[in-house]
């Protein structure tokens, strides 16, 4: 049982590092940010293994600290993974938005970038709706 406790503790530490890494990677520029997809998937896998280990520890009557953080970390990883996958799907639009916002000097120029991006998304949605109807 001691080996299982040590393994769970090590996995919890790894999970904490992965979640912190995912938070850092999600703030990088877009091409590098996509590396977070793999990190998010790995964090989800390790997080589930940690929860299983903590449940085993609790059944054995041992203290199982870390459940709340693990559940919170899994939720955060899932949310960030969803955002990163969405940005990967709409990569050209999101890349153009970020490039436009980097060039924007004033607030109104940044707002124009957002308006143009919203118009592009509306066009994408209209095209998808037309394809569905036909």
Q: Which residues contact 77 (CB under 8 A, 6 or more apart)?
A: 18, 19, 22, 40, 43, 44, 47
Please say whether the beta carbons of 57 and 81 come within 8 A: no
User: How many angstroms separate the CA atoms of 129 and 110, rounded?
Assistant: 29
Tokens of 93: 């639009």
pLDDT in tens, 52-71: 998 888 887 777 788 889 99
Answer for the pair 54, 71: CB distance below 8 angstroms, yes or no.
no
CB 30 within 8 A of CB 95: yes
Residue 133 has pLDDT above 90, yes or no: no
- 113 near 100, Cβ under 8 Å? yes
Local structure of residue 62 (DSSP, 8 states): -
Buried b or exposed e, range 89-107, using 16+ CB within 10 angstroms: ebeebbebbeebeeeeeee
Q: What is the structure's pLDDT at 29?
A: 86
pLDDT (0 to 100) of residue 75:
95
Phi, psi of 90 (to 5 degrees): -100, 40
Q: How far is CA 61 from the centre of its chain?
A: 34
> In this predicted model, what pLDDT tens digit does every residue of 25-43 receive, in sequence order?
999 988 899 999 999 999 9
What's the rounded Cα separation, in Å, for the pair 87 and 89? 5
């Amino acid at each position: 049982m001691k080996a299982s406790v040590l393994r769970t503790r090590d996995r919890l530490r790894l999970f904490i590092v992965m979640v912190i890494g995912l938070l850092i990677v999600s703030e990088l520029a877009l091409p590098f940010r996509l590396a977070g997809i793999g990190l998010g998937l790995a964090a989800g896998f390790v997080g589930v293994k940690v929860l299983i280990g903590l449940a085993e520890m609790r059944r054995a009557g041992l203290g199982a600290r870390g459940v709340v953080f693990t559940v919170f970390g899994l939720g955060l990883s899932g949310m960030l993974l969803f955002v990163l996958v969405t940005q990967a799907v709409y990569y050209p639009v999101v890349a153009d938005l970020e490039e436009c916002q980097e060039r924007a000097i004033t607030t109104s120029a940044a707002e124009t970038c957002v308006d143009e991006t919203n118009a592009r998304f509306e066009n994408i949605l209209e095209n998808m709706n037309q394809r569905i109807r036909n």
